[in-house]
Structure 1
């Protein structure tokens, strides 16, 4: 049988993004379940300093360097890094604080918030429950905990926490919004709208509750009432970008090109920054592409880069569009233009890395993905880096990268990558232990991935676990075509698998 390696495995799960864990894998993988729609009311980020992060973070880092035990500086840095979407760095500070014994509601809240952002649902739930025990009336903590419960489909718990928030914060619109979001997630839409209306009555200048009412109608596919409600919100705040874009999206759902385009343009006019204008135009262009009106879509992307030549996001989006059309050369040109404006642009680095790997420029691919993981250390980036390393047979690098991906977002694909790398490194015992864990926590996963099942069998054989090796080979046989040389080899291995150690072919 030809050497499988890790390439086929990773191409399935990592070429575009990490695969989602199967439901049975939740205890081991801790994957975040899809949240119901409409999404719960976003909880405000933990309070950071009034300074911009670019000023506050260096100041606090210097302060901490001067006094490494400054717990206040650590907590403030944790909040600052949440503000700039780096929950991974937040965890470095919160975990240190917890180890130092600083187990306050604030620290648990920051840690839980970061864990939720990284998809570690079990850890987030534990942290936020601890925070709510220490500060049982804190609206921010309760709202975040309710959100976690919703994402875990624990609606009774979410409702209990949301009602507690209302009991102790009767005059806070946010408490009513939290309860309304729970009802909406349970599809109790009339109850949800009643809570949102009550929240709006407490502050007639804030249209967020009205906007949430509109989302409930949209979820029920009642687009006319959703549009009517958005117009009600815009009557209060005519330049609200979120409402204007949502209105355009509603027209897009009706495939009303004229009204959708006009609504997106209205939002562009109202947007105060070039970055926001570009984001809205990208949404507009994507709509026409999805409607299979490629010429109109491409014209909008070209308009973006011409009109906003200093905004990297426009070049990234145009490059992504061109790559989807398999126009890789022009796509690379756009991504490089984005990097010229922002050398650390994650979208451009990701696109360039993927094209480099697809065209066989593996050293370039590794370079781009390494850079990406330095500026945006997420599960997808590390998984792609692991794939690139496997392509050049650097299995130590693949093991490290896939391991980091698994730490961030636990899913069976990247754990399988670690096991495969261990096999290639002849760490048969370690690989076998991982395959045991996969079989326990992700029922059916190996049977859906014959490559991994084959590597599992070889790992069991290599670690002299005869019974497990035979069982794995027998599971593999029904997936193969009878009469082929590979089938005959696997059938033979199933009968004499322990007569010789596992060998690497190729």
Structure 2
């Protein structure tokens, strides 16, 4: 187990004090003594209290109480000071002293209840603040405190009811709004929490407590940088406020701005020497610097004040573990798990501690709650594997090691006691050397055989992996794992039948072998046997309904079956199994985007951003979602952040540069692409291609060609540059240069896209025979090449070689099975050839695509031309022209129909309009002739 354990963030720690019972209190009179004089210690103490300078207030109050130990106002103000400092027991002591001095019990019940809340005596607090015991003047305050007590008892419905009652009784009470906000934070209703804080700020725009709470909420939802100005604003209003300064210090600590954070902490220490949270944050910094002895010294100075504060217990557990004080670490972590049994990091560290103390059974038991959630934590899985290996239960050890490697094949910090640990660290060469040594001593070592196969498969050495898997099957013929690994090796070798046989064998050996079932389903899906694949996956799901991998496999099956909502539903279930697992959430975002549910995608992307603010995969998904929703500015900012999170990744640089280009920031895009060209050990082909496209769109052909030549020089064995040059020349009507570039690529082999482009270049250059030759070559190579056949038919159509074009379209009709486009062209050719099948074929195309203007034009013109139905023909042609108003050939057909329907004047205007606007189109001669005929007939 690695000793590099991440501590929970400082900001989250201070914010967590709210969940531990931190409360702040509105100054509200609870006594009826005469007001103090303006120069009295009590008056000065009240002023210090109002400004948040509790140390100065305490000094003045000591002077006041020295002069009059029975001063009720002084005692109660001192109680409030303690409450503000979260010191419940001293506050209770002062309230009791005030009562002995004459303060009415009824008037101090709310204060006493608050003191009890701070001591976690929630039931006592509820008893103290019972509604029928508190006078009406203090009813709102009592309801507020009862709400806090119910929150402490985790009775959230009762807490909400009490806080809403307090709001009803005191709608303009700032503190009630803040406590409501705390409730909503605990209930994970961030919008309501922010609304409550905003209401508190509307009541008191200079409320430091409200600003601090707003900062907490913003920090959780929008990040550290966005929260910092709110803490700054709070301190600008009240520089002495400890809570605001602590929150800012915690935020600065998380931002790694340690110098500034320490400045704040020093001010806190000056005001309140050895403030526990200040010491804690300083200890966090020391742990990050791996100065564990210094961190231990700082935590010792807290004198146990944070004994019930989970983050502090975790930090002390980490410190003790790193200093090899395993018994002490075990004590701290046990205390933490009592109050936070679901704390995954604490539980994993506790399991590691038990393993280090020689208790593998205890380690497995400690990790069990996490394993029951199907955690995808590679380090935890490896730790459990180590525990089983320590017990000699190698079957179980291998199962968990396989899972660990599958989850995180590149983990680099595992230090278990198994010889195969280097595999999990990504050190494959060293790992194989270690595994070979293990196998020399023990040829039947299951874990060594298994890990050897895994390493070789991960390196793409499927033949060697198959050999290792064969050894595993031979050594353990009754276990499923060898067959599963052999199936995976065959799959890598593209031997599908053999892979399927072995996956089925693995399932036969172990019916609940879910990984093998998923592998089998993968093969069935590839073979389009969707029903069988679903059956296998549902069997796996029946046995383990919370398995995210199975749920994701079902979602992929739904995608292939074109069931978008089912795909989304499966992914939602996968996400619900563990929201800390990123893969299902990334897939869910993509599923939303594919289903055009952009707002749902954006909501999930924003949640992902909050949970993984600096993760490259998360940032990429967020940026792509922002692009899909049209927010180019936000997408650009996200992709810029991605380049910082993954500075050496060419993909990140491309996304950033492309977003700049889309945002019309052309110069910035050029700079971003140029910076990408400086990356080392990356394939930069796409960067050059993007630059070529950018310059071409800007009309800078010379610069685009320069980039293409640079690409050719950098990768001389690649044909990508010549193909790109061909595209550039083709787009700029330089046909001969395009042909030369494409022919250079053709020498090394021709694919469909190249053939179509080359044929297009030959056609545009007036070299029709060469175009036909290229297309015929493509069809000879692949008679089912639809694109090539369409292109060849189009060449014949242009040349009015209708019989040859018809032959191609008839062949296409057999392949495409009633394509409206193919039928439409066939109908046109039939019309030109005076074939009686023309109208029937056009009607068939129209039935398949009644909204297509091209299809309506063909059918309409044939109906008019063959004088079958003049009126319907005119209607269809009007429909076509409405959709394609700038198409001169369609407008010519409309003119013919108008004339045929007796509307000669309209026909004449239509023809004159066409001929005045268009100087070249297919029907130019016919249109001129028709206009002359109308004019001649009108004389």
TM-score of the two chains, using structure 2 as the length reference = 0.34
Work out whether 1:298 is the aligned partner of 2:705.
yes
Counterparts of 2:833 and 2:814 in 1: how far apart (Å)?
Answer: 18
Counterparts of 1:182 and 1:483 in 2: how far apart (Å)?
Answer: 45
1:370 paired residue number: 776
Could you tell me whether the CA contact under 8 Å between 1:210 and 1:233 is conserved in 2? yes
Q: Per-residue deviation at 1:198?
A: 8.1
Structure 1 residue aligned with 2:693, among 279, 286, 293? Answer: 286
Post-superposition CA distance 1:62-94 (Å, at most 9, x none): xxxxxxxxxx9xx9799799xxxxxxxxxxxxx
Counterparts of 2:753 and 2:719 in 1: how far apart (Å)?
Answer: 9
Post-superposition CA distance 1:300-342 (Å, at most 9, x none): 23433344443212111111111221111111111112223x2
**Corresponding residue SS for 2:639:** helix
1:399 paired residue number: 809
Residues 359 and 230 of structure 1: is their aligned pair in 2 closer, same or farther, counting only changes over 3 Å? closer
Q: Per-residue deviation at 1:239?
A: 2.4
Work out whether 1:186 is the aligned partner of 2:597.
yes
2:377 paired residue number: none
Work out whether 1:344 is the aligned partner of 2:750.
yes
Q: Per-residue deviation at 1:381?
A: 3.2
Q: Per-residue deviation at 1:235?
A: 4.0
Counterparts of 2:726 and 2:770 in 1: how far apart (Å)?
Answer: 18
Residues 483 and 192 of structure 1: is their aligned pair in 2 closer, same or farther, counting only changes over 3 Å? closer
Structure 2 residue aligned with 1:416, among 820, 824, 829? Answer: 824
Work out whether 1:334 is the aligned partner of 2:715.
no
Could you tell me whether the CA contact under 8 Å between 1:207 and 1:237 is conserved in 2? yes
Could you tell me whether the CA contact under 8 Å between 1:281 and 1:300 is conserved in 2? yes
Q: Per-residue deviation at 1:244?
A: 1.3
Counterparts of 1:145 and 1:180 in 2: how far apart (Å)?
Answer: 17
**Corresponding residue SS for 2:846:** helix
What residue ranges of structure 2 are gaps of 5+ in the alignment?
1-456, 464-486, 497-519, 542-549, 879-889, 903-925, 927-939
Residues 428 and 395 of structure 1: is their aligned pair in 2 closer, same or farther, counting only changes over 3 Å? farther
Could you tell me whether the CA contact under 8 Å between 2:639 and 2:652 is conserved in 1? yes
**Corresponding residue SS for 1:261:** helix
Counterparts of 2:522 and 2:743 in 1: how far apart (Å)?
Answer: 42
TM-score of the two chains, using structure 1 as the length reference = 0.59
Counterparts of 1:259 and 1:159 in 2: how far apart (Å)?
Answer: 37
Post-superposition CA distance 1:134-159 (Å, at most 9, x none): 5245345434356568xx7x764443
Deviates more, 1:264-273 or 1:250-259: 264-273
Could you tell me whether the CA contact under 8 Å between 2:850 and 2:856 is conserved in 1? no
Superposed, which structure 2 residues align to 1:38-77 within 5 Å?
none
Residues 221 and 483 of structure 1: is their aligned pair in 2 closer, same or farther, counting only changes over 3 Å? closer
Could you tell me whether the CA contact under 8 Å between 1:438 and 1:446 is conserved in 2? no
1:93 paired residue number: none
Counterparts of 2:851 and 2:632 in 1: how far apart (Å)?
Answer: 40
Work out whether 1:317 is the aligned partner of 2:728.
no
Counterparts of 1:452 and 1:327 in 2: how far apart (Å)?
Answer: 38
Structure 1 residue aligned with 2:791, among 376, 384, 391? Answer: 384
**Corresponding residue SS for 1:350:** helix
1:110 paired residue number: 526
Residues 111 and 268 of structure 1: is their aligned pair in 2 closer, same or farther, counting only changes over 3 Å? farther
Residues 339 and 482 of structure 1: is their aligned pair in 2 closer, same or farther, counting only changes over 3 Å? closer
Residues 376 and 255 of structure 1: is their aligned pair in 2 closer, same or farther, counting only changes over 3 Å? farther
Post-superposition CA distance 1:253-287 (Å, at most 9, x none): 233344322322333444756xx423321111111
Counterparts of 1:358 and 1:490 in 2: how far apart (Å)?
Answer: 39
2:665 paired residue number: 256
Residues 378 and 433 of structure 1: is their aligned pair in 2 closer, same or farther, counting only changes over 3 Å? same
What residue ranges of structure 1 are gaps of 5+ in the alignment?
1-48, 56-71, 82-103, 113-126, 492-505
If asked which structure has higher relative contact order (CA below 8 Å, sep 6+), I would say: 1
Superposed, which structure 2 residues align to 1:16-35 within 5 Å?
none
**Corresponding residue SS for 1:135:** helix
Q: Per-residue deviation at 1:291?
A: 2.4
Residues 211 and 198 of structure 1: is their aligned pair in 2 closer, same or farther, counting only changes over 3 Å? same
Post-superposition CA distance 1:361-414 (Å, at most 9, x none): 33321221233454696643332122124333303532245437735xx85323
1:159 paired residue number: 568
Counterparts of 1:428 and 1:473 in 2: how far apart (Å)?
Answer: 17
Superposed, which structure 2 residues align to 1:112-127 within 5 Å?
none
Residues 266 and 346 of structure 1: is their aligned pair in 2 closer, same or farther, counting only changes over 3 Å? farther
Residues 51 and 307 of structure 1: is their aligned pair in 2 closer, same or farther, counting only changes over 3 Å? closer
Counterparts of 1:167 and 1:389 in 2: how far apart (Å)?
Answer: 58
Work out whether 1:356 is the aligned partner of 2:762.
yes
